[in-house]
Amino acid sequence: MKHMKDVYGKETSATHGSYLTLRKMILSGELPPGQKLKIEQLRGLLNTGASPVREALSLLTSDMLVERIDQRGFRAAPVGKANFEEILLLRCSLEETALQASITNADALWEERIVLCHHHMKKAMKAGTANFEDTHKNFHMALLSNSKLPVLERYCSQLYDLNIRYRNLAADGPRYQERSIQTEHQNILDAALDRDAIRATVFLIDHYRKTGEYLGRQIKN
């Protein structure tokens, strides 16, 4: 395979394409935690050579989605309650910092951005389309996107994905959207638009804690 088209039809390198595919498979649980990731096997799955696969796995290592064992290959990162709770803790702490910085730098462009992302998310939720998860992440990242702290935003994005992975792994439990997530999102958005940093972060963190409490109960380890 010389070229590859990603989900949006744009051309990407074999490495980047493999990265995106594997990432999605790990986040969705299709590649379960701890699973050995053999190059040869993935090579077949992805229709590509060993080099792009190795490089994609290397990149996933930095996202903490893949573990590399020296000279012994790669495996999907293991999961556990302690890990889940650390992620929740860090998310609350880091996103609080990021959201407050974002609000401090608030401007019209950012406001429009978060309003739009919120709209797209609501629409996707109502339609029940498959890309709801993407719009949900977009909304949350948009909230932080005005912080002018790119490293922090990167960490938040990483942790968001790790959290989503746990949600997907626990997907069989009782329906999770029973809580009125829509209201919670609306509250965060309104507080952000009011430039009320305190209220916005309280809503945001509460949003995470509630989700965390729900998911935490489902994880064995």
Binding site for a copy of itself (CB under 8 A): 12-13, 16, 51, 54-55, 58-59, 61-64, 70-71, 82-83, 86-87, 89-90, 93, 97, 148-152, 155, 159
For 143, the token pair is 């909230």
Position among 5, 36, 119, 217 found at the interface with DNA (CB under 7 A): 36
Check: CB of residue 101 under 8 Å from CB of residue 151.
no
**By the rule CB under 7 A, 52 interacts with DNA:** yes
**By the rule CB under 7 A, 40 interacts with DNA:** yes
Position among 22, 27, 31, 37 found at the interface with DNA (CB under 7 A): 37
Q: Which amino acid is at 56?
A: A
Close Cβ partners of 105 (under 8 Å, ≥ 6 residues apart) = 146, 147, 148
CA torsion angle 207 213 218 221 (round to 10): 120
Q: Shortest Cβ distance from residue 132 to a copy of itself (Å)? A: 27
Distance CA 201, CA 198 (A): 5
Distance CA 211, CA 164 (A): 11
| The one segment of 46-54, 110-118, 174-182, 205-213 that binds DNA by CB under 7 A | 46-54
Residues that bind DNA in the complex, under the rule CB under 7 A: 1-3, 11, 13-15, 36-40, 48-52, 54-55, 68, 70-74
